[in-house]
């Protein structure tokens, strides 16, 4: 899938900023080993991220957002 995205980006003369790119797998499985790289550029993987001011986690759980609001 990522190779298709990379191909589309290059075909449209765009570029990916690998230092700012993040991937987050949303699933219920705990033991998935997933490493991502495109042309030897690693993309970091995170369990949660902030998107438009809302904290999302890989389980689509509201707990990280609620904890941030409480503090």
64 vs 51: CA distance, rounded Å: 13
Backbone dihedral region of 33: left (phi > 0), alpha (psi from -120 to 50 degrees) or beta?
Answer: beta
Beta carbons within 10 angstroms of residue 60's beta carbon: 7
Give the residue, 13 or 32, on which the prediction is more confident.
13
Question: What pLDDT score does 43 carry?
Answer: 74
pTM for this predicted structure = 0.50
24 vs 39: CA distance, rounded Å: 19
Q: For residue 68, is pLDDT > 80?
A: yes
Q: What is the pLDDT of residues 14-61, one digit of tens each?
A: 988 878 887 777 766 665 555 566 666 677 777 888 889 888 888 888
Question: What pLDDT score does 48 carry?
Answer: 84
CA nearest neighbour of 16 among 38, 1, 34: 38
């Amino acid at each position: 899938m990522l190779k298709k995205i990379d191909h589309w980006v290059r075909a449209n003369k765009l570029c990916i900023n690998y230092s700012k790119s993040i991937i987050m797998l949303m699933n219920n499985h705990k033991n998935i080993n997933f490493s991502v790289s495109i042309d030897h550029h690693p993309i970091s993987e995170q369990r949660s991220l902030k998107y438009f001011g809302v904290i999302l986690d890989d389980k689509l759980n509201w707990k990280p957002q609620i904890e941030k609001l409480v503090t």
